[in-house]
């Protein structure tokens, strides 16, 4: 029997040796669930902006963007 493992990380083998890769731990947004929906959407926007700022500086995230969005929206319950 063959077992296939799903991973949430990207293949980083093609990156230059000098690339800065952030592999985690990732911030957990579950503690913001008590906020109003409007405030949770604001936290979501800030999380995306923070990730974008890191990527603009050349930081490579091991967590794929789609996985990041799914995780944050799940943790924020939005």
Q: Identify the residue with better confidence: 43 or 25.
A: 43
**Domain ranges across the chain:** 30-76
Mean pLDDT, the chain, rounded, equals 81
pLDDT in tens, 44-77: 999 999 999 989 998 888 889 999 999 999 999 9
Which run of H or of E encompasses 8? none
Chain Cα centroid distance, residue 29: 11
Q: How confident is the model at residue 10 (pLDDT cuts 50, 70, 90)?
A: low
* CA–CA separation, 23 and 7 (whole Å): 13
12: pLDDT strictly greater than 90? no
How many angstroms separate the CA atoms of 60 and 20, rounded? 6
The overall pTM is greater than 0.75:
no
């Amino acid at each position: 029997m063959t077992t296939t493992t799903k991973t949430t990380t990207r293949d980083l083998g093609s990156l230059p040796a000098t690339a800065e890769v952030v592999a985690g731990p990732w911030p957990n947004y579950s503690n913001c669930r008590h906020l109003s929906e409007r405030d949770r959407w604001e936290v979501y926007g800030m999380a995306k902006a923070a990730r974008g700022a890191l990527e603009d500086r050349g930081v490579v995230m091991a967590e794929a963007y789609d996985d990041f969005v799914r995780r944050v929206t799940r943790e924020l319950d939005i």
